[in-house]
Structure 1
Amino acid sequence: MITLRPAKERGHANHGWLDSWHSFSFANYYDPSHVHWGPLRVINEDRVAAGQGFGTHGHRDMEIVSYVLNGGLGHQDSMGNKATIVPGEVQRMSAGTGVTHSEFNYDKEGQTHFLQIWIIPNKLGIKPSYEQKTYGDEEKRGRLRLVVSPDGAGGSVSIQQDARMYAGLFDGDEKAELVLDKGRLAYVHVIRGEAEVNGRRVSGGDALLMQAEPLVAVANGSNAELLVFDLPETGWEPN
């Protein structure tokens, strides 16, 4: 079963300094049919104005992944990490028992455009931790490159959940397939451009929610960038 979630059906909030589209219920946006997909809890597409950002705030018991599309995202946290995340980099922060952090666009002119992704961990109360890695376009061109996993496979960042995130760039006749094990969910988020996923034409901001499908097949892209999540259907709840 495949369900299309068109980009325009997402929740939307414009705070002036922040323009945000919510794929799942978040803050003042609530849709009982889109609260989570397995352990995938949040995909916010955020555009942060020049010189603006999220002040210091706290999280706990959540796996938080940042994927920057344009500009830079300055990060500081209570673990002592200080970095700027730029396109091609993936940052993972495991909040665990509790962490505070800030995210800021230090550019005085340009906008920062990024995805904020939350995945519910399968274990509560872990020690907070941080990881950041770079994946060049050549690693994602015409393939689905593993960038998040439970065990750091293939140089991916690791999370406390049996979930995997792949990133890919597709144009022209480039194509790729991801085989799904029985009992797994998949979620495809199109970042930009257009592509065919399992025969369905999708474009920037669209998503496909997949259940009981044998694979994810990407083809016929037009400047397409997308994320594919391989997720547990059951047994992912934290203990």
Structure 2
Amino acid sequence: MEKTDKISEETITHHVLHKANTRGHANHGWLESYHTFSFANYQNRERMNFGVLRVLNDDRVSQGMGFGKHPHDNMEIISIPLEGDLEHQDSMGNTTIIKEGDIQAMSAGTGIFHSEYNKNKDQLVKFLQIWIYPNKKNVAPRYDQVTLDLKDRHNKLQQILSPNPEDEGVWIHQDAWFHIGKFDNDFFASYELKKPGNGVYAFVLKGDFTIGNIALNERDGLGIWDANLIEIIANSADAEILLMEIPMSI
């Protein structure tokens, strides 16, 4: 990874581009949500998933509001807070607060109930809700949460999720690796996939990037497959990106 003036010569051949303004949108007053993939009332047969990535919701929850208790099963559910404090309660007895820098993962397995609320009365909470199909069904439900140092993602890709309990970040029942990086303008980084046959879904959290020959802006998503390495250039200051390496076969 380096500061550079070069333009990547890599051509991304096998890809799907989801511009931010093509996502599904729901505004329930207390909740505003953008759906990269089909979800709830947003139904799009061409946007059912990318590999095992089933849901990527970009949520804003009003002060003191939230999702009441609801069920899940046989899904890996990841929450990434971007701003504010989100209170979580579940049927396993967990009551926690997650905030920026925290990563939360739940293996719903045989079934769980949980709720999520904006802890604060004076500010929004913003977070990503991500669902991943597991590689094992009917596992015992489990909860995982870690707090990471935000400085460790400055001009590098910080691992936030993997299949391995001993690695940095949370772990899930899937051969998936997530990283977040926050880069200075013109900074160059590369990502080498960890498992043959996996793909990468990149989601821009802030600013502008170029991946290979493709320009990306805030909240754009880019799915890439049949690649062993991807090259990333930040095109604005404090540009932030989430990379999700995932299996392409469900």
Superposition TM-score tier, normalisation by shorter sequence: over 0.9
**Residue 61 of structure 1 contacts residue 94 of structure 1 at CA under 8 Å; is this kept in 2?**
yes
Distance 1:134 1:49 in 2: 24
2:175 maps to which residue?
Answer: 162
Q: Which residue of 2 aligns with 1:137?
A: 150
1:16 aligns with 29
Q: CA deviation at 1:175?
A: 2.5
Match of 2:39 among 8, 22, 26: 26
Is 2:202 the counterpart of 1:188?
yes
Q: Tell me the residue number matched to 1:113.
A: 126
Cα offset, 1:152, TM superposition: 3.0
User: Could you say which residue in structure 2 is the equivalent of 1:89?
Assistant: 102
- 1:165-190 deviation digits (Å, cap 9, x = unpaired): 11111122432211125422111011
Q: Distance in 2 between matches of 1:136 and 1:200?
A: 30
1:197 maps to what in 2? 211
In the alignment, what sits opposite 2:242? Answer: 227
| Counterpart for residue 4 of structure 2 | none
Matches of 1:220 and 1:227 in 2, distance apart? 13
8 Å Cα contact 2:64/2:119 also seen in 1: yes
CA distance in 2, matches of 1:233, 1:2: 12
Structure 1 pair 153–195 and aligned structure 2 pair: CA distance change class (3 A): farther
Structure 1 distance, partners of 2:147, 2:61, is 22
Q: Report the RMSD for the aligned CA atoms in angstroms.
A: 1.3
Structure 1 residue runs of 5 or longer lacking an equivalent are none
With 200-209 and 151-160 compared, the bigger mean Cα shift is at 151-160
What is the aligned counterpart of 1:216 among 217, 223, 230? Answer: 230
Deviations 1:183-204 (A, max 9, x none): 2211101111112222322111
- Given that 2:156 and 2:181 are in contact with CA atoms closer than 8 Å, whether structure 1 keeps it comes out as yes
Which runs of structure 2 are paired with 1:72-83 in the superposition (5 Å)? 72-83=85-96
How far apart are residue 153 of structure 1 and its match?
Answer: 5.0
SS at match of 2:175: coil
Q: Does 1:54 align with 2:77?
A: no
Q: Distance in 2 between matches of 1:170 and 1:229?
A: 17
SS of 2:152's partner is helix
State the alpha-carbon separation in 2 of the partners of residues 12 and 37 from structure 1: 19
Which runs of no fewer than 5 residues in structure 2 stay unpaired?
Answer: 1-13
Q: How do residues 139-154 of structure 1 correspond to structure 2 at under 5 angstroms?
A: 139-154=152-167
The DSSP-based 3-state class of the residue aligned with 1:8 is helix
User: 1:33 is aligned with what amino acid?
Assistant: E
Q: How many positions carry a matched residue from both structures?
A: 235
1:154 to partner: Cα distance? 3.0
TM-score (norm 1): 0.94
Q: 2: CA distance between counterparts of 1:174 and 1:134?
A: 26
State the SS of the aligned residue for 2:206: strand
Quote the Cα distance in structure 2 between the aligned partners of 1:102 and 1:89. Answer: 17
| 4+ residue runs over 6 A deviation | none
Q: Distance in 2 between matches of 1:72 and 1:203?
A: 26
Give the 3-state SS of the residue equivalent to 1:29 in structure 2. coil
